[in-house]
Amino acid sequence: MNLYHTKRQQGLTIVEVLIALVVLSLIMAALVSALRSFGRTQAALDNVTGRITSVRQLSSFLRDSIGSAVPVMGATPDVIPGGRDSGVNSQNTLFWSDGQELIWAAPLAAGERFGGFYLLRMTLVNEQLQLRWQPYRRVQKWDDWDDIKPHVLLEDVEEIEFGFRPGYGEEWIAEWGGAYSNPVSVRMNLKVADRYWPELVIRLDEGRGSDI
């Protein structure tokens, strides 16, 4: 029996070991790359899922609260910016917007310890969509808002735009105030973290103002 042939069958040459290591390295590199891609894909999916969840939650809240806005009349105009110079008087409904913020009155219910008829104000401050609310009173002033801690609805909001439809079939307008009824529809556009959210259109209960 050939001695060299016997040793050749019992072990591997240096060249074969090097080839095996190179192949193993390529396999490990491909595996690491695949794991990184999976991680980035998972992170992207989490971001998308989180954004969709935020859109749904905020849209649901706004549809409920703005959609149930009550056309209150006889309220003091001092509760909105500009006070009595705004053109709002006691014969107008308490629904106001300059296209960038919104004030409305609506019933709210959130558990046993929080519920009733509230005045709400939503505005954009330092890229935060903030909401303040206070119990509705017949006599209220704009300064009352300063003592209310805001609740942050959404972060990284770069733009906000409202639109209002006075009646069905009519054109959208950018501001609302000094009217004898609430609009029949409100639309809202948001730009959040360089992305535009789907346009939110909210239908309000049609009705002229009433005293509360």
Q: How many domains does the chain have?
A: 1
Q: Are 148 and 130 in contact (CB under 8 A)?
A: no
Q: Does the pLDDT value for residue 19 go beyond 60?
A: yes
pLDDT, position 201 = 94
Tell me the whole-structure pTM to 2 decimals: 0.68
Domain contains 176: yes
Q: 45: which residues sit within 8 A by CB, 6+ positions away?
A: none
Domain presence at residue 31:
no
Residue 18 lies in a domain: no
- Extract the tokens encoding 203: 């239908």
Residue 79 · residue 105 · CB < 8 Å: no
pLDDT tier at 174, thresholds 50, 70, 90: very high
Assess if residue 113 is contained within a domain: yes
Closest of 176, 204, 205, 171 to residue 92, by C-alpha: 176
What is the model's pLDDT at position 203? 93
Whole-angstrom Cα distance, residue 128 to residue 153? 7
Domain that holds residue 130: 49-211
The pLDDT mean for the chain works out to: 76
For residue 21, being part of any structural domain is answered with no
* Alpha-carbon torsion, ordered 71, 145, 118, 139, to 10 deg: -70
35 Cβ neighbours under 8 A, 6+ residues apart: none
Whether residue 153 is contained in a domain is answered as yes
Determine the pLDDT at residue 43: 55
pLDDT over 90 for what percent of the chain?
22
Contact call for residues 74 and 138 (beta carbons, < 8 A): yes
pLDDT digits (tens, 9 = 90+) for 138-163: 656 666 787 889 999 888 899 999 99
What is the per-residue pLDDT for 48? 44
Residues 98-107 have pLDDT tens digits of: 888 899 989 8
